[in-house]
A and B are shown apart, each in its own frame.
Chain A
Amino acid sequence: MADSPSSQSSPMTHHKYSYHVENAGEGNHRAEKFLSAFAAILRHSNYRFIVELFARTTARCGRCAASCQVYQASNDPRDIPCYRTQLLLDVYRQYFTSSGQFRSRILGEDALSEAKMDEMAECFYRCMACRRCSIDCPLGLDHGLMTHLGRYILSEAGIAPKGLVVSVREQLEGATANTSAIPLPALLDNLEFLKDELRETKGASVDFPVDQENAEYIFFPAVSDYLMEADTLMGNAAVLHATGTSWTIGSQYFDGINYGLFYNDWILERIIHKLVGEARRLKAKKVLVGECGHAARSARQFVPTFAGDQNLPVVSVLELTWQAVKAGKLRLKPGVITERVTYHDPCNIARSGWIVDQPREILRSFVSDFVEMNPHGRENYCCGGGSGLVSLDETHDFRMKVSGKTKAEQIRASGAQIVATPCANCKKQLRELVDYYKLPVQIVGVHDLILRAVEL
């Protein structure tokens, strides 16, 4: 993806984009499909007015170029957030406004071309939808929203990354009902293993309750944590145990991941229904989301949107832990972590200001040498793998050389030995950056460190 996309077709896949797509070859009436999808989405959603408003007001000042880490690394005009947004606004103006249709007829503007389709398909997947540029837009245009909409339209026109589609298919239509295709027996084995580990390392009998009805919380981590982030899960469970919290994992649905946020509202809503359905089946009072930025944001933002009268509160495990620390319910040994630690803010929970200070306060309570990256918090730089890119192995070069470059420099400059971040996607991307840039740091979850500090 770092190089010219048109010359980047992988010999393995023969696809024309920098990501693999199922059944979306050329000559597939992509432009017609795109316009039909655009029309249907405008008709059945809330997007029309915002596209209209952006089209009327966008000043094309280019200030966003200075705050976008992708453009800063690539220097490719296609990566200027406003340029990408214009691609969509131009199609909207030409096809969905009367003045645009009139102008198009008078001036004989070209119809939506295959080249334009390729450009959109490429550009919308070179953006991590981190929304950092929105902070610096004087008008307040949300280019992340336009990336979201652009990807949504593309996906209904048949253009969506195979890596995301296949995972979602398994989650919504597959036998295992989760993006990592973990069968229930494997999950239960895994929980037993985690229990044993906790008994051995912490000397405490910490339970991982499954299908407990009427629990206070039903727990949805990024399901990949069950495969790859044992310490994070043990940290989560240790906190819930230490605070005497009633919680459960649902056997029929236990995945917090919602790739719908990255490319399709229909998918987004179906996944939310699945999550709420499991919570209701077990009569849980609240949804507890594990360490995962997009899972936390999608549940927090869209459970109230799609759940209707089945709505229930959504809490991030970081909020729960922070409240326990503040209330003195959790004993964390001060100074137990002596390595230099920094914290990476996942965009999906930090950009809105929702979770910025809480993890820092938790970490500072037991880390003796805590340093910040600059900038951080709401103005953080993305890990470079946001919006699902990290799940697409074929984007590795782009994520290392372009989108993740700034973050790698930030980490190096911090001098930290440990980077803690509460997000499965960020952790995967940062670990790849560590390998690629030979950074002398360890990437962990926040609860991985809490596990080391907690007294049970």
Chain B
Amino acid sequence: MPTWLTLAKGPAFLFVLAVFALGLLRLIVLTVWDILAAVHRAGNRRMPYRQILRQTLSWLLPVNHLHRARPAYSFASFGLHVSILLVGLFLRNHLDILQANIGFAWWSISKPILDVLTLIGIAGAAFLLLSRIYVMSSQRLSRTSDYLLLLLLLNILVSGYLAGRDWNPIPYDELMLFHVLNGMALLLVAPFSKIAHCVLFPFIRLGAEVAWHLTPRGGSEVIQTLHGPQGRKI
């Protein structure tokens, strides 16, 4: 294996993994802290926790939701999520790198299944990218980072898929370096981009509910800050 690929799969990967894990951990800690502080400040601390949990869980496997709005987009997005998670976390080659770097890994899923999932992921990412380019509502919402992240995912999925094919026309080592570098880029940006939703997802519905639980005297304090003790008229 060329030195640069060894480096990319070794010390560089370890560094990226540390940024990824610690970065996401930081977000989780900050968010949980913020929510606890908000609950503490709220005038009414009773929250419908069970209802929020039920709603949040129902979106983890959103079979009842996908068809309701933008079904094609929703299924493409769901396919992409499943693909990234399963292929990323359960491909033998990925787990070998993990084992080599941190000394442990877990069971893998068989390659043919993951191959199909990779194709689903490629189709999903391509559909989402085309939607962002051509569908007016998506286009108007999209920022540069939205396109770049989808391109990054496409790079990873396509290069990963090609690397496992006999008919791959690209030299394996170069293709693998491309794959690994894109993969590392994804891990690096995760804590600083919308990919953070991979760990913050469970806190969003909870957070929205908590935020509706306002702080007593908050409004008066705002008035005092803006207008001084004399306040303002309505």
A positions within 8 Å CB-CB of B = 36-37, 40-41, 43-50, 52-54, 56-67, 71, 75, 77, 80, 82-83, 86, 99, 134, 136, 138-142, 145, 156, 165, 168-169, 172-173, 264-270, 301-302, 304-306, 308, 353
Contacts and interface: CB of A to CB of B under 8 A. Distances in A.
B111 interface: no
Contacts of B46: 304
Contacts of B212: 142, 145, 301
Nearest to B36: A49
B196 interface: yes
A86 B37 CA distance: 25
A179 to B, nearest CB: 12
Contacts of A168: 234
Contacts of B225: 40, 43-44
A306 B77 CA distance: 42
A139 B37 contact: no
30 contacts: A37-B226, A43-B221, A43-B225, A44-B221, A46-B215, A48-B34, A50-B38, A50-B208, A53-B31, A53-B200, A53-B203, A53-B204, A57-B194, A57-B201, A58-B194, A59-B146, A60-B143, A61-B73, A65-B137, A67-B69, A80-B141, A82-B141, A83-B141, A86-B141, A138-B65, A139-B59, A145-B211, A305-B42, A305-B43, A305-B44
Contacts of B42: 46, 305
A72 to B, nearest CB: 10
Contacts of A140: 55-56, 59, 201, 204-205, 208
Interface in B193-234: 194, 196-197, 200-201, 203-205, 207-208, 210-223, 225-226, 233-234
Given A53-B203, A56-B27, A173-B234, A47 B211 contact: yes
Contact of B44 (A49, A57, A269, A304): A304
B196 A56 contact: yes
Interface string B116-158: 0000000000000000000111101111001000000000000
Given A44-B215, A64-B69, A134-B208, 16 more contacts: A44-B218, A45-B215, A49-B211, A52-B34, A57-B196, A59-B194, A62-B70, A62-B137, A67-B68, A71-B137, A77-B137, A138-B62, A138-B77, A173-B233, A265-B219, A305-B43
Contact of A66 (B43, B55, B70, B196): B70
A45 B218 contact: yes
Contacts of A67: 68-69
Contact of B197 (A45, A50, A139, A265): A139
Contacts of A82: 141
A1 B139 CA distance: 24
A268 B194 contact: no
B101 interface: no
Interface of B: 27, 31, 34-35, 37-38, 41-44, 46, 51, 55-56, 59, 62, 65, 68-70, 73-74, 77, 135-138, 140-143, 146, 192, 194, 196-197, 200-201, 203-205, 207-208, 210-223, 225-226, 233-234
Contact of B216 (A36, A52, A62, A269): A269
B73 A49 contact: no
Q: Which of A40, A140, A141 gathers most chain B CB within 10 Å?
A: A140
A235 to B, nearest CB: 30
Contact of B37 (A49, A77, A80, A134): A49
Contacts of A134: 208
Nearest to B201: A139
B222 A266 contact: yes
Nearest to A133: B69
Contacts of A45: 214-215, 218, 222
Contacts of A156: 222-223, 226
A358 B70 CA distance: 32
Given A43-B225, A57-B200, A304-B44, A267 B234 contact: yes
B57 to A, nearest CB: 11
A36 B222 contact: no
A41 B69 CA distance: 34
Top 3 nearest A-B pairs (CB, nearest first) are: A266-B219, A49-B34, A305-B43
Given A37-B226, A168-B234, A308-B216, A80 B137 contact: yes
B218 A265 contact: yes
Contact of A83 (B31, B69, B140): B140
B17 to A, nearest CB: 21
B43 A308 contact: yes
Contacts of A56: 27, 194, 196-197, 200
B232 to A, nearest CB: 9
Nearest to A43: B225
Given A60-B142, A77-B137, A169-B234, A49 B219 contact: no
Nearest to B202: A140
B19 to A, nearest CB: 15
B140 A80 contact: yes
A120 to B, nearest CB: 16
A47 B208 CA distance: 9
Contacts of B146: 59-60
Most chain-B CB neighbours within 10 Å: which of A46, A49, A66, A67?
A: A46
A76 B141 CA distance: 12
